[in-house]
Structure 1
Amino acid sequence: MNRTEERHGVDPVDLVDRRERHLAVAHWLLTAAGDAEVARKEWQGQGVALLACGGIFAAVRLPGDLVRTVARTEDQDEVNAFLARALERGPVTGDRYADHYHALVPATTAWRWKPRSRRGLECLGRDCYLGVPSPDPDDPQGRSFWAVPMASPGALCDPRLVWAMVQLGTARQAAAAGQGT
């Protein structure tokens, strides 16, 4: 163990495992890129790459206000922790400027998804693209970030858990609106 590892309490084996896991996740995600090398450079330079939905994953767009309502907090770290628990560590990205989250789900979810009346709620499947942040925490982080990082290649959110969270958030918002009138 070197001095840096001793000072920061880093286990070299865990560090290698983490790097290997990030690399494996990156390779898996890059299969959704039109050009993997361009996407890799986008991750390194901008921290985000445009990936196609509908092949290896779909993404359920969740409005930020809905997520914060169901999480019962405005604190970003607490929201991230809530999402990790509620979606059983399934991967979720966030967009700081557009104020929404994307739960990555199996691609077949988009085929079964029925549009709902909730504004901003959508399942991105075929013919949709998503700005996905780099899975490497050493790459720049900007507009797009991992609220819940992808644990391993292909490990996605259970769409039933995502839908249950949407229903709970919608019910809480409706109850709050009813109390305000």
Structure 2
Amino acid sequence: MSVARPIAQGATITVPRQHVVTASTPLRMEPNMPQPPTPGTAARDATMPAAPPKRRTLRSVPYDRTVQRAAVGQWLLSVHPTPSAAQAEWDGDNGVAVLPLGTLFSAVRIPRWVVLSAIQLEEAHSGTLDRFLSEMLHGGPVISCQHEQRYYALTPADMPLRWHKAAADWARVGVEILGEDWLLGVPRLPADDQFGPPPASYWAVPMRRPGEVCEPADVARLIAAGVRADAFESATAQR
């Protein structure tokens, strides 16, 4: 027999009088039955805010240059068909890995005289030019090749396509945008304890984070400043 069953339609339900509870009928409480809440208590409990959870104390994670440098190196080497081979080139005596351009980043080749002209100096120490480049390019990564007397500003991979009109003008002063079909010698990232004169190829402005490149507009302003200052100096000398 089912404990619960539906009531037939039209049936009359008769409740014995002793089972009818009215407002004036006191309730009989069994010893083990829970006491009913005091009127108004449930409403107050519902409106009271719950106690806030205990906040966990987060430990501050220190900035680890070694970990960050490893992440940057892994990102750079990922453009090579065989990253392990490029890593071996970094670990060699030369410390320069030849990486293809046009996939993750491109490069703008800038003659040293353009940078000297932009800073309005006839000659300057490499450290002075490195700091100037870092300021002009807002920390964007730059590689210096002292043997060629050139700088290579790393830029977005699509810069050769987006800036092809400017590239035609820049070519007249020896500035060139390098993209697909170009290889670039990228030196290994400098260590914190590296001292002494920089090698023939080094990071004038190291890459700080994976994927960080120079803004093309900043590179264009640097080139314009150098070319404009050189043109002014040439015009002044001819007077």
Aligned-partner Cα distance in 1 for 2:83–2:120: 39
Question: Which ranges of structure 1 fall in alignment gaps of 5 or more residues?
Answer: 1-12
> Residue 125 of structure 1: which of 158, 175, 179 is its match?
179
Q: CA RMSD in A?
A: 1.7
Are 2:196 and 1:142 equivalent residues in the alignment?
no
TM-score by length of 2: 0.66
Shift of 1:75: 1.8
Q: Distance in 2 between matches of 1:64 and 1:104?
A: 16
Percent identity between matched residues is 36
Partners of 2:110 and 2:103 lie apart in 1 by 20
More helix by share: 1
**Alpha-carbon distance in 1 for matches of 2:120, 2:81:** 38
The alpha-carbon deviation at position 31 of structure 1 amounts to 1.1
Q: CA deviation at 1:166?
A: 0.4
Deviations 1:22-73 (A, max 9, x none): 1000000001113211111111111111011100000000011101111234
Task: Tell me if 1:179 matches 2:236.
Answer: yes
Relative to the length of structure 1, the TM-score reads: 0.87
Contact 2:120/2:229 (CA < 8 Å) preserved in 1? no
How many aligned residue pairs are there? 167
How far, CA to CA, are the matches of 1:118 and 1:48 in structure 2? Answer: 29
User: Aligned letter for 2:85?
Assistant: V
Aligned equivalents of 1:145 and 1:24: distance in 2? 18
**Structure 1 residue 94 corresponds to structure 2 residue 141:** no
Q: Which has the larger radius of gyration?
A: 2
Higher RCO (CA-CA < 8 Å; seq separation 6+)? 1
Q: Does the CA contact (< 8 Å) of 1:47 and 1:142 recur in 2?
A: no
Runs of 4 or more, structure 1, over 6 Å off, are none
The question of whether the paired residues in 2 share the 8 Å contact of 1:34 and 1:51 is answered with no
Mapping 1:1-181, distance limit 5 Å: 13=62, 17-45=64-92, 46-73=94-121, 74-114=124-164, 115-116=168-169, 117-137=171-191, 142-181=199-238
